Chain A
Amino acid sequence: MDRSNFATRSIQISFLAVLAGAWWLATETGSISRLFLPQPRAVYAAAERLVQTAAFWSAVSVTLMTIAKAFLIAMIAGIIVGYLVTRTRLATQVIEPIISGLFTIPITLFFPMFILFFGIGTGSKVAYGATYAFFPIALNTIAAFSNMDERYLRAARSMGAGRWQTFRHILLPGALPVLMTGMRIGFFICFASVLGGETISSVAGVGRNIAHAAELMESARMYAWIVFVICTSVTLNLIVYAFENRIRNR
Chain B
Amino acid sequence: MMSSSRSSLAFWLRLVLVAFIFAALEIYGRFYADPAFMSPPSGIFRAFVERILPEPKIIEALFLCVLQIAAAYGLSILFGTLTGLLVGATSFSRSAFFPIVLLLFAIPQVSLLPLVILFFGLGPAAKIAFGFSHGVFPIIMNVVAGMRDVKELHLRAARSMGASRSETIRHVILPHAVPSLFTGLRLGMTMTLLGVILAELYVSTGGVGYYTRLFAENYNPAPLFALIGCLAVIAILFNELVRLAEKRLTPGLRRSAALTNLVKE
Q: Chain A residues in contact with chain B, CB under 8 A?
A: 4-5, 7-8, 11-12, 15, 35-36, 90, 93-95, 97-98, 104-106, 108-113, 115-117, 188, 191-193, 195-196, 199-201, 206-207, 210-211, 213-215, 217, 219, 222-223, 225-226, 229-230, 233-234, 237
Task: Using A4-B95, A106-B190, A200-B201 as known contacts, say yes or no to A234 and B103 having CB atoms under 8 A apart.
Answer: yes
Q: Let me know if A104 and B115 touch, CB within 8 A.
A: no
Q: How far is the CB of B41 from chain A (nearest CB, A)?
A: 14
Q: Let me know if B17 and A214 touch, CB within 8 A.
A: no
Task: Using A116-B221, A199-B202 as known contacts, say yes or no to A98 and B215 having CB atoms under 8 A apart.
Answer: no
How far is it, in angstroms, between the C-alpha of A233 and the C-alpha of B104 when the chains are bound? 11
List the B side residues contacting A104 at CB < 8 Å.
186, 190, 235-236, 239
Q: Let me know if A11 and B194 touch, CB within 8 A.
A: no
Complex partner residue of B111 from A15, A95, A200, A207, CB under 8 angstroms: A207
Q: Chain B residues in contact with chain A, CB under 8 A?
A: 6-7, 9-10, 13-14, 17-18, 37, 92, 95-97, 99-100, 103, 106-115, 117-119, 186, 190, 193-194, 197-198, 201-202, 212-213, 215-216, 219, 221, 224-225, 228, 231-232, 235-236, 239
Q: Let me know if A117 and B236 touch, CB within 8 A.
A: no
Complex partner residue of A108 from B96, B100, B197, CB under 8 angstroms: B197
Complex partner residue of A214 from B6, B13, B99, B115, CB under 8 angstroms: B115
Q: How many A-B residue pairs have CB under 8 A?
A: 138
Q: Let me know if B119 and A196 touch, CB within 8 A.
A: no
Majority-rule SS of A interface residues:
helix
Task: Using A111-B201, A115-B216, A200-B198 as known contacts, say yes or no to A229 and B96 having CB atoms under 8 A apart.
Answer: no
Majority-rule SS of B interface residues:
helix
Q: Top 3 closest A-B pairs, CB basis?
A: A214-B114, A93-B10, A196-B110
Task: Using A36-B118, A116-B219 as known contacts, say yes or no to A106 and B228 having CB atoms under 8 A apart.
Answer: no
Q: Let me know if A105 and B232 touch, CB within 8 A.
A: yes
Q: Let me know if A94 and B13 touch, CB within 8 A.
A: yes
Nearest residue (CB) in B for A198 is B110
Q: Let me know if A196 and B114 touch, CB within 8 A.
A: no
Q: Let me know if B225 and A113 touch, CB within 8 A.
A: yes
Nearest residue (CB) in A for B111 is A229
How far is it, in angstroms, between the C-alpha of A188 and the C-alpha of B190 when the chains are bound? 16
Nearest residue (CB) in A for B230 is A109
How far is it, in angstroms, between the C-alpha of A106 and the C-alpha of B235 when the chains are bound? 8
How far is it, in angstroms, between the C-alpha of A112 and the C-alpha of B219 when the chains are bound? 11
List the A side residues contacting B215 at CB < 8 Å.
112
Q: Let me know if B235 and A8 touch, CB within 8 A.
A: no
Q: Let me know if B100 and A95 touch, CB within 8 A.
A: no
Q: How far is the CB of B66 from chain A (nearest CB, A)?
A: 14
Complex partner residue of B202 from A11, A200, A225, CB under 8 angstroms: A200
Nearest residue (CB) in A for B229 is A109
Q: Let me know if A230 and B111 touch, CB within 8 A.
A: yes
